[in-house]
């Protein structure tokens, strides 16, 4: 994984120079409650996505030392 820091975006990552696609591993769930700002609360049922994390690797540690997203790099793993 290579880090890149363009001026318009603080940090983004690619798997390598060819920049193949990958996905964050995570879990979808529904939650009922109030979301949004105090000025514009939205009550009701919301669909939420939480991504899974793992221990940070070397290139990620300087940016976020505690954890990094679990990355799915094989197409057959994405919808499992």
- Is it the case that residue 2 has pLDDT exceeding 90? no
Domain extents for the chain? 23-78
DSSP assignment of 57-68: PTTTTTT-SS-E
Confidence of residue 21 (pLDDT cuts 50, 70, 90): confident
Mean pLDDT over each residue of the chain, to the nearest integer:
84
- Tokens representing residue 43 in the block: 């009550």
Which helix (H) or strand (E) is 5 found in, with range?
none
pTM here is 0.56
Cα distances from 65 to residues 7, 28, 58, 60, 73, in angstroms, run 22, 25, 9, 7, 22
Residue whose C-alpha is closest to residue 22's, from 76, 59, 66: 76
pLDDT digits (tens, 9 = 90+) for 55-67: 999 988 998 899 9
> What does the pLDDT read at residue 53?
94
């Amino acid at each position: 994984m290579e880090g890149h820091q363009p001026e318009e975006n603080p940090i983004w990552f690619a798997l390598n120079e060819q920049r193949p696609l990958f996905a964050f591993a995570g879990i979808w769930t529904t939650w009922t409650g109030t979301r949004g700002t105090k000025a514009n609360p939205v009550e009701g049922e919301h669909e939420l996505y939480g991504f899974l994390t793992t221990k940070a690797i070397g290139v990620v540690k300087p940016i976020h030392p505690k954890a990094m997203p679990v990355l799915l790099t094989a197409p057959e793993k994405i919808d499992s």
